[in-house]
Structure 1
Amino acid sequence: MNESASILLVDDDWHLVQSMAEWLREIGHTVHVADCLNGAKASQAEHRFDLVITDLRLRDEDGFELIHHTRQKHPETTVLVMTGYATPDTAIEAIKAGAFDLLTKPLIDDELNLAISRAVSQRDITLENQKLRQRLDSRSGLENILSHDYRMMKIFDVIDSVADARASILITGENGTGKSMIARAIHERSARRGKPFVEVACGALPDNLLESELFGHVKGAFTGASGDRVGKFQLADKGTLFLDEIGTATAAMQVKLLRVLQEFQFEQLGGTQTHSVDTRVILATNEDLSRAVTEGSFRQDLYYRINVVNIVLPSLRERVGDIPLLVDHFLREAAETCDREIEGFDQHAMATLQAYRWPGNVRQLQNVVERAVLLSRENVLTLEDLPPEILGRVADPLASAIPQTAGENTLKPFAMTPASYQNKSLREALEGPEREIILHSLRRHNWNRAATADALEINRTTLYKKMKRLGLDDPRLQFAMEG
């Protein structure tokens, strides 16, 4: 027997509709009947139907109205049309209106049964596509941000919360922490994802060129301006504009930015016409803007305007547990690019990678992994495949960019503990190793909590409490670990 369906049968020939309904019930379908538009709409308001099978002529009423009503109010329902006056034009019109198929009276049982089966199959495919799209959307924009650190998980929650907000977002963090990726993730998870995402590195341009880049210019605005040019704000209209290194903007540029962020209006360089845009603005910096405000180098009013939502990205040395996950990802990418078979780093090399302070953060780690894959002649990467600064053999030119702990020895390897315990209580210092031990055991036991508790020789209640305290109870962790 074919898969059963819930069907609304609509025809003004009451004897015909009752006969069809009886036959459809006999072959396993659930059937409701109606003989007019109002009756059909009332049934749809009370019940959910997989299919509506309707005649095009319902006394003085038009079956096309029921097709339109169903497509608008019940888009999950498939419509089959039956008529005794079918023409090629009628069929085309019915399909355009939203009908799945058109059947000609008198109906043959096998023909109707086949049409219902096709419609049910189409419904199943549509539902499966919707579920797949939802699963993809659940990580949309985040698929390239690899982490199982609880701080990053909280940032993912913030991204979900603010994705559709109009308010400006300020992303702060050290160089190489992935500010651009977070900005793009916010865009991709918003209703603007089908519109442009435009990125501008403010620190790469002098003030006059930055103004032209952002707002555009008219012909003759400056030497070399041989024609009108549209700026990034207009290019990002209806989409997102990402302004990186906003801390480098001069005082004059800050005034112009404040106005456009307040009013979303501006004039092109050298022009007099006021342009209005609907552009979502995300800004980023690796500088301490609050200190810049105190020192007078950054406008206080602009700071408050852009700092409505502040996403602070942790450095890589603060999420040392993510290093193996990131290394594995970068290894696979580099090995595929170089057409190499690489198994990975050995234990000592991985411990050294986790002990290093990573002043260049994720970007530096990616470069180190790519270098190792390129230069190594072996399938297993070792300490000898790491650059001298990682091993402490030469001074790291980037080391001054991060605070150092007195007496810290970056050569001292450890696999699960943070690089520094400065200003931490004993409980805080132990959270890192404890989290890594539990996480490792959960992975080893395929996230079976009972087996994990037995392996760790603690009861399940204790395990659940620890998982909640350490941020391991987020179900997305399992997806992140598999990714």
Structure 2
Amino acid sequence: MSETQESTGNSANSPIRVLVVDNDKSHAQAMAETLERVDYDCTVATSGPDGAQFIDQDSFDVVITDLVMNEVDGEEILRRSKEALPDCEVIVVTGHASVPKAVEAMQQGAFNFLEKPLTPDRLRAVTEKAADAVRLKLANVDLHQRLDERFGFEGIIYASDKMKAVIERVKRLAPTDASVLITGETGTGKELIAQALHQNSPRRKKPFVALNCAALSEHLLESELFGHVRGAYTDAQTDRVGRFEYAHGGTLFLDEVGDMPMPTQIKLLRVLESGEIVRVGENKPVNVNVRVLSATNRDLEVAIEEGRFRHDLYHRLKVITVDLPRLADRRDDIIPLCDHFRKQFTKRHKKTVRGISGAASRKLFAFDWPGNVRQLRNVVESMVVIDTDEILDVDDLPMELEESRSPVETTPESGPAGLIGQPLSEIERWAVEQTLKLTGGNREESAKILEIGARTLYRKIKEYGL
């Protein structure tokens, strides 16, 4: 127990910090000692002004305050706690005569009240319930932080100009309620972009619900989307809520929407126009408030020409489009992605992997990646799993990459051919810049590849402003 304590932040797994405020010093210390025996971290304030000062200067999870005190009373402690510590829970302590005031305090935001004389068991029980409420709040904060890290813009790994343009577009679209059609090859990260759109929108605290439209038959897809009532079809033994209702207030992501059967397309269009769904086997409409994001790896305009996709639904879904490039068209992202996946899978598989060799980096950089980012992720995971010397090298590569001989294709605008006739300094600058990209900025590895000294490379970096 301490009279003063340095301010600390808290998390869902940290000890619960309790502030006890009571004019009666012996009573305050007795409460603190009772709680400290079950591992609460307690601070005692023996007057209302002292309690108010602690609240202003420190951080607590639970505040236990006597209701009747001189100068600053328990109601003022409650008010200050709620203002300064929004995640904190406040328990008020009262004598029998002031129980109505305690009930009033609960209406103003107190968690509960304790009536004197206190018993240790009652004190611990009420404090534990308050602590559980705090832990739940903190767990939700931790969850949102992890979602931000995973699905926020800072969680998307990119260095290429093409992906910078994509992210800038997504940032502009996220705060709106517009329907977005995300296009790109399989494995380019369409669902990750959908999650980023949701996580950075006003709907972020509501559900994000995803459904792959290519994985289900027509009847199952309609049941998944709209729900069904018991007896709607042979296997419908109970009522079922559909994805639209689960996503109410949030976002519904329809992946591979180009594979949706035509009858289901008609029903989806009706929902988008009316904001109402009808469960399979029922006629009663249900209002839904959902932002719809969709994705496809198909050319929907060709599908429209061939009669496989509705023209009106297409324009409902693609109010705005986001086109994701192939990984082979954003090669500047390959090495940063490799390093990100290396760290991710090193942690997951409890391995020590300090980096990726230059030879392996060149192979990874040069490969065409028909499976895009998903394939790269799987390759790096397999390399981490089989590695034995703490460096991912050529001998850790899977067969298809180990045998790859094809160099990176270049264009006259961006590759060596475009440097013909340029000053030697431009050619040198290009070589240094590309090598740094290849190694993910590793200067030691870059110097080895360029066959120059580390000091020379450092001088070139400064000279060319890289």
Structure 2 length-normalised TM: 0.62
- The reply on whether 1:270 has 2:281 as its aligned counterpart is yes
Match of 2:319 in 1: 308
TM alignment of 1:355-394, pairs within 5 A: 355-392=366-403
TM alignment of 1:115-126, pairs within 5 A: none
Q: Secondary structure at the match of 1:311?
A: strand
Mapped partners of 2:430, 2:459: distance in 1: 19
Match of 1:250 in 2: 261
Change in Cα spacing, 1:273 to 1:156, as seen in structure 2 (3 Å) is same
* Aligned equivalent of 1:141, options 137, 151, 154: 151
- The reply on whether 1:194 has 2:205 as its aligned counterpart is yes
Measured against aligned partners, the alpha-carbon deviations of 1:421-472 in whole angstroms (never above 9, x if no partner) come to 358577996799786578789997xxxxxxxxx945778xx95xx9xxxxxx
Letter in 1 for 2:410: Y
Q: Secondary structure at the match of 1:266?
A: strand
Letter in 2 for 1:176: G
Match of 1:420 in 2: 409
Q: Per-residue deviation at 1:298?
A: 1.5
Change in Cα spacing, 1:136 to 1:148, as seen in structure 2 (3 Å) is farther
Match of 2:292 in 1: 281
Change in Cα spacing, 1:427 to 1:311, as seen in structure 2 (3 Å) is farther
Measured against aligned partners, the alpha-carbon deviations of 1:202-233 in whole angstroms (never above 9, x if no partner) come to 00001111111111112222111122211111
Q: Secondary structure at the match of 1:378?
A: coil
Match of 1:319 in 2: 330
Mapped partners of 1:429, 1:361: distance in 2: 27
Match of 2:353 in 1: 342
Q: Per-residue deviation at 1:367?
A: 1.0
Q: Per-residue deviation at 1:71?
A: 12
Are 2:247 and 2:290, in contact at CA under 8 Å, matched by a contact in 1?
yes
Change in Cα spacing, 1:169 to 1:95, as seen in structure 2 (3 Å) is same
Q: Per-residue deviation at 1:172?
A: 0.8
Letter in 2 for 1:221: A
Q: Secondary structure at the match of 1:247?
A: helix
* Aligned equivalent of 1:184, options 195, 219, 223: 195
Letter in 1 for 2:387: S
Match of 2:246 in 1: 235
TM alignment of 1:385-464, pairs within 5 A: 385-392=396-403, 410-412=405-407, 419-422=408-411, 424=413, 455-456=459-460
Match of 1:217 in 2: 228
Measured against aligned partners, the alpha-carbon deviations of 1:71-105 in whole angstroms (never above 9, x if no partner) come to 999999xxxxxxxxxx8558747865479xxxxxx
Match of 1:127 in 2: none
Q: Per-residue deviation at 1:178?
A: 1.1
Runs of at least 5 residues in structure 1 that lack an aligned partner in the other structure: 1-49, 51-62, 77-86, 100-131, 394-409, 413-418, 445-453, 467-483
Letter in 2 for 1:245: E
Are 2:335 and 2:440, in contact at CA under 8 Å, matched by a contact in 1?
no
Mapped partners of 2:382, 2:359: distance in 1: 18
Q: 195-204 vs 258-267, which deviates more?
A: 258-267
Q: Per-residue deviation at 1:322?
A: 1.8
Are 2:148 and 2:155, in contact at CA under 8 Å, matched by a contact in 1?
no
Q: Per-residue deviation at 1:148?
A: 2.5
Q: How many correspondences in the alignment?
A: 369
Match of 1:329 in 2: 340
TM alignment of 1:91-170, pairs within 5 A: 92=102, 97=108, 141-142=151-152, 143-170=154-181
Measured against aligned partners, the alpha-carbon deviations of 1:4-27 in whole angstroms (never above 9, x if no partner) come to xxxxxxxxxxxxxxxxxxxxxxxx
Change in Cα spacing, 1:428 to 1:296, as seen in structure 2 (3 Å) is farther
Measured against aligned partners, the alpha-carbon deviations of 1:260-308 in whole angstroms (never above 9, x if no partner) come to 1121212222211112100111101111112222333211111111111
Q: Secondary structure at the match of 2:248?
A: coil
Letter in 2 for 1:420: E
Mapped partners of 2:273, 2:336: distance in 1: 41
Change in Cα spacing, 1:322 to 1:432, as seen in structure 2 (3 Å) is farther
Q: Secondary structure at the match of 1:211?
A: helix
Report the identity percentage. 37
Q: Per-residue deviation at 1:176?
A: 0.9
Q: Per-residue deviation at 1:391?
A: 2.7
Change in Cα spacing, 1:313 to 1:294, as seen in structure 2 (3 Å) is same
Match of 1:5 in 2: none
Q: Secondary structure at the match of 1:204?
A: coil
Letter in 2 for 1:292: A
Match of 1:172 in 2: 183
Q: Secondary structure at the match of 2:272?
A: helix
Mapped partners of 2:268, 2:99: distance in 1: 57
Letter in 1 for 2:370: P
Change in Cα spacing, 1:267 to 1:441, as seen in structure 2 (3 Å) is closer
Q: Secondary structure at the match of 1:227?
A: coil
Q: Per-residue deviation at 1:390?
A: 1.3
Q: Per-residue deviation at 1:200?
A: 0.6
Change in Cα spacing, 1:304 to 1:226, as seen in structure 2 (3 Å) is same
Measured against aligned partners, the alpha-carbon deviations of 1:116-148 in whole angstroms (never above 9, x if no partner) come to xxxxxxxxxxxxxxxx99999986722432223
Change in Cα spacing, 1:284 to 1:438, as seen in structure 2 (3 Å) is same
Mapped partners of 1:316, 1:161: distance in 2: 23
Structure 1 length-normalised TM: 0.60
Q: Per-residue deviation at 1:255?
A: 1.2
Q: Per-residue deviation at 1:173?
A: 0.9
Q: Per-residue deviation at 1:357?
A: 0.8
Are 1:217 and 1:270, in contact at CA under 8 Å, matched by a contact in 2?
yes
Are 1:137 and 1:189, in contact at CA under 8 Å, matched by a contact in 2?
no
* Aligned equivalent of 1:298, options 306, 309, 315: 309
Change in Cα spacing, 1:155 to 1:432, as seen in structure 2 (3 Å) is farther
Runs of at least 5 residues in structure 2 that lack an aligned partner in the other structure: 1-56, 58-72, 87-96, 111-141, 420-428, 444-457
Change in Cα spacing, 1:95 to 1:270, as seen in structure 2 (3 Å) is closer
Mapped partners of 1:170, 1:336: distance in 2: 34
Letter in 2 for 1:421: T
